[in-house]
Each structure stands twice: as C-alpha cells, then as structure tokens.
C-alpha cells in the first residue's frame, strides 16, 4: 500500500464506522423484541388506520335515534348540494358530527369556500342513498351506497355524465343515551 492512500482509507473506514454506529442505534432497523406487543391504541390504529386523539372529547348537539338514521341523514346532506349551498351544508354537517367526520367536512367547507370554478360553473351534486348496512365485524361502522350525478349550469364539463355509484364507510358513536352521531366518513369510491 502506498503512503498516499493511507489517509483516504482511514477516512473511509471512519465514515463506515460512523454509519454503522448510527444504523445500529436506529430503532427502525433494530429487530423487535419477541415479547413486545403493540398497545391497544396502536393495535386499533393499525387495524382501522386511524389513531384516536387524546384531546378533549368533542360533542355535537342533537343526534339521531339510530345509527342508520344518523348515517342516512349525513349521506343525504353530503351528496345533495349546489355551488351556493355546499359550504353552509358542510359546516352544518361539521356541527352535527364529531371526530374524523367533523374534520373531513370542515376541510370540505374550507376548500369549497374559495373554489372559483365551482361557483362560476354552477356545479351541483344530486344523490340518493341506495343502501346502508352494518359492516361485518365493524363495531359502529356502516357501508353507505349512494348514486350521484353532478351537473353544471354554466359549463359543459358535466354534460352527458352518467350517474355514478359511490361507496363510503361511515362510523357512528352514541353521543348521548338514544342519540347517535357520525364520527367517521371515509369515501371509498
């Protein structure tokens, strides 16, 4: 070995050692302990793809007498709107829901409030709730099937568009004795 290469090899060895040391301390690369099990909250998050927030409990005024009534009413409002009513309707749904559903419709209200094309195009959506059924094994979870059509009064963009089927997974919770509210709204198609 030539004396000129020794500093370069030492620098390379030091770099490799530093990388190895960094990787060995990284929890993502370390093998999990065979006895380690996820906490119930983590297991639920992995199963449902959502993590319950420890923040203060939300509440909604009112509610519906059954889970199916809550989901049906939410779906009807969610699918029937026009450019002039959509923001008000989404905010109304937010006030009458909790959790992820509230966050989803608050976001929809915020996004549509500044949507120039929605207003200029006179866009509207009309839908019917075709089915609501309990999701097998899903406590408080329901499959919602709607048939919807989108129209516009000031653009040809939706002309001739056939009605489409949509599937949503809705979650409900018992807000107060005898009153159910929607807590999750996850459109699938």
Q: What's the CATH code of the domain at 123?
A: 3.10.450.230
Residue 64 pLDDT class (50, 70, 90 cuts): confident
pLDDT at 171 > cutoff 90: yes
**Is the residue at 48 inside a domain?**
no
* Mean pLDDT, the chain, integer: 80
Pull the structure tokens for residue 166. Answer: 């949509």
Q: What is the count of structural domains for the chain?
A: 1
Residue 46 pLDDT class (50, 70, 90 cuts): low
The pLDDT of 118-144, averaged and rounded, is 94
Return the minimum-mean-pLDDT range out of 2-11, 136-145, 176-185. Answer: 2-11
**Is the residue at 44 inside a domain?**
no
**Is the residue at 25 inside a domain?**
no
Say if residues 158 and 83 touch (Cβ distance below 8 Å).
Answer: no
**Is the residue at 111 inside a domain?**
yes
Is 50 exposed, middle or buried, given 0-12, 13-18 or 19+ CB atoms closer than 10 A? middle
* Domain assignment of residue 112, given as a range: 67-187
**Is the residue at 128 inside a domain?**
yes
Per-residue pLDDT of 85-114, as tens digits, reads 999 999 999 999 999 999 999 999 999 998
Position 62 scores a pLDDT of 73
The DSSP secondary-structure symbol of 64 reads: B
pTM of the model: 0.68
Residue 77 pLDDT class (50, 70, 90 cuts): very high
Return the closest-CA partner of residue 124 out of 79, 72, 186: 79
**Is the residue at 30 inside a domain?**
no
pLDDT at 152 > cutoff 60: yes
**Is the residue at 123 inside a domain?**
yes
């Amino acid at each position: 070995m030539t004396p000129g290469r020794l500093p370069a090899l030492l620098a390379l060895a030091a770099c490799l050692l530093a990388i190895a040391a960094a990787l060995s301390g990284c929890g993502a690369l370390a093998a999990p302990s065979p006895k380690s099990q996820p906490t119930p909250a983590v297991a639920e998050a992995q199963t449902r793809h959502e993590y319950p927030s420890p923040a203060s409990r939300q509440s909604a005024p009112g509610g519906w007498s059954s889970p199916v009534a809550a989901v049906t009413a939410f779906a009807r409002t969610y699918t029937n709107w026009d450019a002039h009513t959509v923001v008000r309707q989404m905010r109304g749904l937010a006030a009458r829901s909790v959790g992820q559903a509230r966050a989803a419709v608050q976001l929809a209200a915020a996004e549509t409030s500044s949507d120039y094309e929605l207003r200029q195009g006179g866009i509207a959506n009309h839908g019917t709730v075709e089915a609501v059924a309990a999701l097998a094994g899903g406590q408080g979870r329901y499959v919602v099937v709607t048939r919807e059509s989108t129209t516009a009064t000031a653009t040809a963009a939706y002309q001739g568009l056939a009605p489409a089927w949509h599937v949503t997974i809705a979650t409900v919770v018992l807000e107060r004795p005898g009153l159910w509210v929607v807590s999750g709204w996850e459109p699938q198609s």
